[in-house]
Amino acid sequence: MLTGDPAYANVSQAIDFQNGLTTTVRAQIGNWHSEWEIGAAAKFGTLEYDGITPPFARRHHFTTELVGKSFAWSYSDMMSSIHVYSAPESYSWTIFQDNNNSGGATWSSPGFYIKLRENIYMFQWVEENCNGSQGLVIFNKKIMHDGGFFYGVGHGGLQLTVTGAFARELGAFDIKKYFLEG
């Protein structure tokens, strides 16, 4: 988190030393929907460092490659969920309750997907109308694991916590045909 920032910002960066590319996601308290929920924006750039020559025009970029896919996520022995990447700018998830598979709570949230490398994605979402927190993870499909942060306002004030889980593919459905891609 950026201490002293008037918008109480949190900046996350993906830095690719091999390809000379960077992506920065700046999140701050307040968005179009609520003064306490997170708003976020991504910027794509290059890295010039220690002999690294960045590409002239190539950058990390928004992607729809995950849209239509679903995964089961295991965070611990006590928490699992199903994520359905249901649209180019949102996703849905269900968190299962711990009382004998009785179901769980389901939400959908705005977000975006960024392709960093083959099978490596940055995924950012805001748990809108829920707790208003931003989740941001790097998802490595090759090892089926993610890791990242949750950022937002909680009972104790401003919070930044670590998250990560193991994934298992559940299948896919052809939904991208319903969205205009340009």
Name the residue ranges covered by the structural domains of the chain.
Answer: 61-178
What average pLDDT does the segment 91-115 reach? 81
CA atoms within 13 A on the CB side of 139: 23
The domain 61-178 having CATH identifier 2.40.128.20: the answer here is yes
Task: Please check the confidence at residue 21 and state whether its pLDDT lies above 70.
Answer: yes
Query: 44-53, 62-71, 103-112: which has the minimum mean pLDDT?
Result: 103-112
Beta bridge partners, 108, equal 92
* Other CB atoms within 10 Å distance of the CB of residue 63: 15
pTM higher than 0.75, yes or no? yes
What average pLDDT does the segment 86-95 reach? 90
Asked if 99 and 105 count as a contact pair (C-beta separation under 8 A), the reply is no
Q: What percent of the chain has pLDDT above 70?
A: 94
User: Strand locations in 66-156, DSSP E?
Assistant: 69-76, 79-87, 90-96, 104-117, 120-126, 134-140, 145-154
Q: Categorize the per-residue pLDDT at 99 as very low, low, confident or very high, splitting at 50, 70 and 90.
A: low
